[in-house]
A and B are shown apart, each in its own frame.
Chain A
Amino acid sequence: MKNRTSAQKGVLRRILSFSKPYTVYLVLAMVFAVISVGLTLYAPILTGNALDLVIDKGLVDFDGIVKILIKFAAAVGITCITQWLMNLCTNRLAYCTVRDIRVKAFESLQNVPLKYIDSVSHGDIISRMITDVEQISDGLLMGFTQLFSGIITIFGTIGFMLSIDLKITLVVVLITPLSLFVASFIAEKTFSMFKVQSETRGELTSLVEEMVGNQKIVKAFGYEKQAEERFDEINCRLRVCGVKALFFSSLTNPSTRFVNGLVYSGVGIFGALAAIGGNITVGQLSCFLSYANQYTKPFNEISGVITELQSAIASAKRIFDVIDQPPQTPDPENAVSLETTDGTVTLDKVSFSYSPDVKLIEDLELAVKPGQKIAIVGPTGCGKTTVINLLMRFYDVDSGEIRVSGVPVRQMKRDSLRSLYGMVLQETWLRSGTVFENIAYGKPDATQEEVEKAARAAHCHGFIKRLPNGYMTEISDDGSNISQGQKQLLCIARVMLSLPQMLILDEATSSIDTRTEIRIQQAFDQMTEGRTSFVVAHRLSTIRKADHILVMNKGRIIEQGTHDQLIAKGGFYFDLYNSQFSV
């Protein structure tokens, strides 16, 4: 328990360290809070004093009232202004802080090793970047405004009340914590109910996500009835536990209000008795009554603020987890930038595995001469992308060395290495933005002509022209306004624009319609002409043209050689090749 609180404190301190550049706002907010709370507390004293001047028929001191009311107006005016200013400061403080946290987390994502991004759930990261960061901002806002002014209010009220009467103050101070106690008692009791509720809700959400998200398949198998039955069952359970959780948690409000009522009655009774004894005036009693209301309010709010802060801390932990991901090893100080390459790639005793207990690539030797075409083939899921990961240095080799134009890649700047390759991946990725921006992604200063030229070379100029806004057409969120094949073409155009000396093509043409595919094939042939290319290939016609073939299975490279050599060997490749004609 102690560890937990100290860990929480650490997280809180860290959130505050993000607020450091905005300390000015924090200080200002505190100053304004003290002023506005102080004056808010002063106001009932003034009204109380004024009320004491209103005694009975013919017994009203109007001059005195005017004087007090002028003071009162000034107090109210200043309170309003400082309250507003305080809110502005805390807003700015909280929003600036979370913006910085968000950007920092995003930066971290740009610098982590790919291993991290490949291994985490993207949905989870997104929810950290959105929901969790919003939670921090809510927590900060509430923390800064309510917690802070709440505490000032509590102490201020006690001070003011003590200055009037000790006994009645004791009544207020002793009864009020009861509401805190009741609130935390209810919170504790309802915690397990909420847990059941959120678990059941989670169950329902994941069922809905699965079923509605794949509604077409549900329909194809006529599974609607069964899905509805499962849905109804969970829905019913949700209702039962939901009513429980909702009801018991909503007891907090009436109960604390009841405690407030007790405080109010207590002040009324003791105050009135004191007034009979002449210890206080009626105006002071009225002042006490309004303090009784003010004093209990922060107590009621603080329990809410603490819950909010706790979830903010939990959220902060999740986002700091992203920020704290160790970045990839930085490029060495004296890293080389290769401007060009002839296209020689050497793999020297390269070993690699994703996890230490499953060895994948061991002592791989490969010497690629400029302009050679290397085909990587093998059954689905055999780990063909591993080779791309290593060539592009998305992952580092465990031992051995990869050299480009004789320079070990570890001694090169990553950016420089990657710019030597043009890459078209199987999963087409386009950014939100216009078609133009996407083609010019690698070269943002490209001219319209250059982009069009690249588009023509990738055979997408035609369809782009037919889009509603041509090159300026926005590619929508899910890319639904262009087909999969067209996306693929745009990815090719993106590479065509700069056309580096070495190419990595990952089953690039597998979903492009057959006739365009032929033209693309020709374009690829021209493109790869004189360039070193690594092709993860499915089509045998491509493979046959390759200078060298790497045959992979279950993550390992099991055979390599030319087509003829491999056929002659009669091994795995031989089977793979012949299987096409087995029916």
Chain B
Amino acid sequence: MFRLFRYLKDHLFESIMGPLFKMTEATFELIVPIVMAKIIDVGIKNGDSSYIIKMGAVLVLLGLLGLLCSVTAQYFAAKASMGFGTSLRKDLYRHINSFSYKEIDKIGTATLVTRMTSDINQTQTGVNMLLRLFLRSPFIVVGAVIAAFLINARLTLIFLLASPLIGLIIYLVMHFSLPKYTSIQERLDKVSLLTRENLVGVRVIRAFSRQDEEIDDFSQTSQELMRYQIVAGRISALLNPATYAVVNIAIAAIIWFGGKTVYAGDITQGEVIALVNYMSQILLALVALANLIIIFTKASASAGRINQVFDVDSSVVYEENASHETSGDNAAAVEFRGVSFAYGESGEYALSDIDLTINKGETVGVIGGTGSGKSTLIDLIPRFYDVSKGKLLIDGVDVKKYSSEELRRKIAVVPQRAMLFRGTVRDNIKWGRPDAADEDIYKALEIAQAREFVDASPDGLDMLIQQNGRNLSGGQRQRLTVARALVSQGDILILDDAASALDFATDARMRKAIASQTDGKTVIIVSQRASTVRNADKIVVMDDGEIAGIGTHQQLLADCPVYKEICLSQLTEEEAENK
């Protein structure tokens, strides 16, 4: 948590003024019992009603000043904590954007989203409470003790015994109950998991008639959740009675020993009452502190999760002032030179010893089973990951020499997951090229076989796409993602299984259009379908992280057993031979 306090630096003034005003307010509050003691000891004793009214006015004035200070303090605290949240959010987002695929894989996008949203909100609340209350409560405790000391030194002993005792009670209750809340959170996660599972798997569950068992399982988890909640509640419920007891014992002690002191003539009746009041103030302050600690604990946990993200550095660092020599025209578009790649630090290569040259303007198919390394192979080209060994050249220049913008401009990718964003069709397509004109967009849509359904919508390019493209079918989404990539003017177009949701006819039409209308572009098509890659200039067959063969359909059919096997599983012999 404290590491994040650097984000308060820009709001240093507010962060100091907030607590300062809060303490001023607390000081006014501490004066109240003394004034009241005066009213009793001077006003009542002497029957001086004008004195009482004068002192009463002082009380009202103290309240008013307290109000002013407190409002000022809230203002500064609100400003500082919101400023804190805003800067932190901005920085964290910048940091997340610097991640390469490797870090994204490692952390997972779902947790990144929670950390960006609820974790930051939680710390923001924590900071706000901290500025408002953290100094106030100890200040009141200390102030009350000092005030008591000024009244009578010996009676202060009661305060010095009671305050730490209350502190200890608060500490113990928290110490034993907070871990329980972690268990509660775990059960709650499980309840959420079970619900999600049951919604997603409803067909399978009903197909196997397992509804009753699922209900039993859910009841059991809910029961566990309840048990933990009750246990935690039982401990937390001790806090109020225990502190109440301590404070009242202290009050009894004040009356008893205070009585003795009054008997001796050292203090007055009004001062005993003031001491009782100070005791109550300490109780209130410490209970507020307990609530604050709960909020702060939550905030620290969130801060820890945020710091975890900050601690991850991107493994891919771009050369932003890229000053590489321009390559000759006859350099290969993409060249793998002895490339090996491992995802984690495990050292187990997902790709090993890849040597592959893709020439400019070529259409290359990449085929292989799941887990054979197809996607990994092409993810290296736009430098989503860095190679572990060997070298990867784009246009004859090492991929690490390019700036990130240059690379994105050069290479257009259609990812496996057909993902669209909220906004219009036009907004989405423009991702490929922000300055694309409508005619460019239409052309891309046509090639991607998406023009028809976009035109069918009354809004055309302004057709709204919902989050995740929910209002479109899988095939429609896939075609739009292809159009998005096509509109960019990159020389290299990578299609990662971009037609899996399309029927054969549309797939074929799309490939034909891409082949005939994007001359000069280097196209790399990844697919599991033999029919999709069979007409490529060159087919790369992947098997278990290695290249099992490179060649044309006919060549590979003749001498690559893996390829032959794949083809025959999907096509009849006759179809496979058929040109």
- Is A570 positioned at the interface, with any CB of B under 8 Å from its CB? no
| B201 contacts A91, C-beta separation under 8 Å | no
Q: Is the CB of B371 within 8 A of A485?
A: yes
**Residue A330 at the chain B interface, CB threshold 8 Å:** no
Contact assessment for A129 and B195 in the assembled complex, using a CB-CB cutoff below 8 Å: yes
Which chain B residues (198-240) contact chain A, with CB distance < 8 Å? Answer: 198-211, 213-215, 218-219, 222-223, 225-226, 229-230, 233-234, 237-238, 240
> Taking chain A's interface residues, is the majority helix, strand, or loop, or is none over half, making it mixed?
helix
Q: Say if the beta carbon of B89 comes within 8 Å of chain A.
A: yes
Q: Is the CB of B229 within 8 A of A91?
A: yes
What chain A residues lie within 8 Å of B256 (beta carbons)? 65, 69
Interface size range on B against A:
35 or more
Contact with B75, one of A216, A220, A247, A415 (Cβ below 8 angstroms): A247
Q: Known contacts A102-B222, A485-B371; can you find 13 more A-B pairs with CB under 8 A?
A: A62-B260, A88-B234, A103-B222, A217-B419, A226-B434, A239-B83, A246-B81, A255-B67, A268-B59, A286-B273, A380-B473, A394-B206, A580-B508
B90 near A441: Cβ-Cβ < 8 Å: no
Knowing A205-B117, A216-B104, A514-B566 are in contact, say whether A541-B197 is a contact too (CB < 8 A). no
Q: Mark A412-425, 1 if CB is under 8 A from B, else 0.
A: 00110011010101
Give the secondary structure class of B's interface: helix
Q: Which of B19-52 contact A (CB under 8 A)?
A: 25, 32, 36, 39-40, 43-44, 47, 49, 52
Query: Cβ of B512 and Cβ of A51 under 8 Å apart?
Result: no
Asked if B179 is at the interface of the complex by the 8 Å CB criterion, the answer is no
Q: Tell me if B255 and A65 are in contact (CB < 8 A).
A: yes
- Which residues of chain B have C-beta atoms less than 8 A from A99's C-beta? 222-223, 225-226
A282 and B198 contacting across the interface, CB-CB below 8 Å: no
Q: Does A379 contact B (CB under 8 A)?
A: yes
User: Which of chain A's residues 201-227 have a Cβ closer than 8 Å to chain B?
Assistant: 201, 204-206, 208-210, 212-224, 226-227
Tell whether, in the assembled complex, residue B255 and residue A231 are in contact, meaning their CB atoms are under 8 Å apart: no
CB distance from B238 to the nearest CB of A (A): 6
**A54-B258, A380-B475, A579-B508 given; A83·B241 CB < 8 A:** yes
- Give Cα A512–Cα B96 distance, bound, in whole angstroms: 33
Given known pairs A111-B211, A221-B408, the reply for A541 and B117 (CB within 8 Å) is no
Which B residues are in CB contact (< 8 Å) with A111?
211
Which of A91, A257, A540: most chain B CB closer than 10 A? A91
How distant is B503 from chain A, measured CB to nearest CB, in Å?
4
What are 6 contact pairs spanning A and B, CB under 8 A?
A134-B188, A208-B113, A217-B415, A272-B49, A286-B276, A485-B370
**B349: Cβ under 8 A from any A Cβ:** no
Asked if A321 lies at the interface with its beta carbon under 8 angstroms from chain B, I say no
Q: Which residues of A contact B100 (CB under 8 A)?
A: 219
User: When chains A and B are docked, how far (Å) is the Cα of A266 from the Cα of B251?
Assistant: 24
Instruction: List, in ascending order, chain A residues with CB within 8 A of B498's CB.
Output: none
Question: Which of A219, A255, A257, A575 has the most C-beta atoms of chain B within 10 angstroms of its own C-beta?
Answer: A219
Is A569 an interface residue when CB atoms closer than 8 A count as contact? no
B248 near A379 with CB under 8 A, answer no
Contact present for B207 and A227 (CB under 8 Å): no
Q: Which B residues touch A515, using CB under 8 A?
A: 369, 562, 565-566, 569
Interface-forming stretch among B159-167, B392-400, B571-579? B571-579
* B 248-282 binary contact with A (CB < 8 Å = 1; else 0): 11011001101110111100111011001100100
A44 nearest CB across to chain B (Å): 10
Give the distance in Å from the alpha carbon of A293 to the alpha carbon of B64 in the complex.
Answer: 17
Q: What total of chain A residues lie within 8 Å of the partner, measured CB to CB? A: 151
CB-contacts of A51-99 with B (<8 A): 51, 53-60, 62, 65, 69, 72-73, 76-77, 79-81, 83-84, 87-88, 91-92, 95-96, 98-99
In the bound complex, residues from chain B placing their C-beta under 8 Å from that of A80 are: 241-242, 244-245
Does B230 contact A92, Cβ atoms closer than 8 Å?
Answer: yes
CA distance A379 to B419 in the complex (A): 20
Chain B 375-421 interface residues, beta-carbon cutoff 8 Å to A: 382, 384, 404-405, 407-409, 413, 415, 417, 419, 421
Quick check: A514 and B280 within 8 Å, CB to CB? no
The distance from the CB of B166 to the nearest CB of chain A, in whole angstroms, is 14
Q: CB distance B71 to A423 under 8 Å?
A: no
Q: Which residue of chain A has its CB nearest to the CB of B105?
A: A216
* A576 B505 Cβ-Cβ under 8 A: yes
**In the complex, A55→B110 CA distance in Å?**
69
**A219 adjacent to B101 (CB under 8 Å):** yes
Contacts A257-B67, A425-B203 given; does A583 touch B230 at CB 8 Å: no
B272 touches A84 (CB 8 A): no
A250 to B78, CA, bound (A): 9
Which of A306-314, A341-349, A516-524 contacts its partner?
Answer: A516-524
- Cβ distance B374 to chain A, nearest Cβ, rounded Å: 10
B88-114 interface bits toward A, Cβ cutoff 8 Å, 1 = contact, 0 = none? 011001101101110010000110110
Q: Is B60 located at the chain interface by the 8 A CB criterion?
A: yes
Decide: B508 and A582 in contact? CB cutoff 8 A. yes
B83→A254 contact, CB < 8 A: no
Tell me if B93 and A419 are in contact (CB < 8 A). Answer: no
The answer to whether B52 and A254 have CB atoms under 8 Å apart is no
Q: What does the 1/0 interface line of A550-583 toward B look like (CB < 8 Å)?
A: 0000000000000000000000000110011111
- Cα–Cα distance between A221 and B214 once the two chains are bound (Å): 43
Instruction: Give the docked Cα–Cα distance between A576 and B428 (Å).
Output: 30
Which of A50, A122, A214, A541 has a CB less than 8 Å from the CB of B200?
A122
Does A23 have its Cβ within 8 Å of any Cβ on chain B? no
In chain B, what residue has the closest Cβ to A254?
Answer: B70
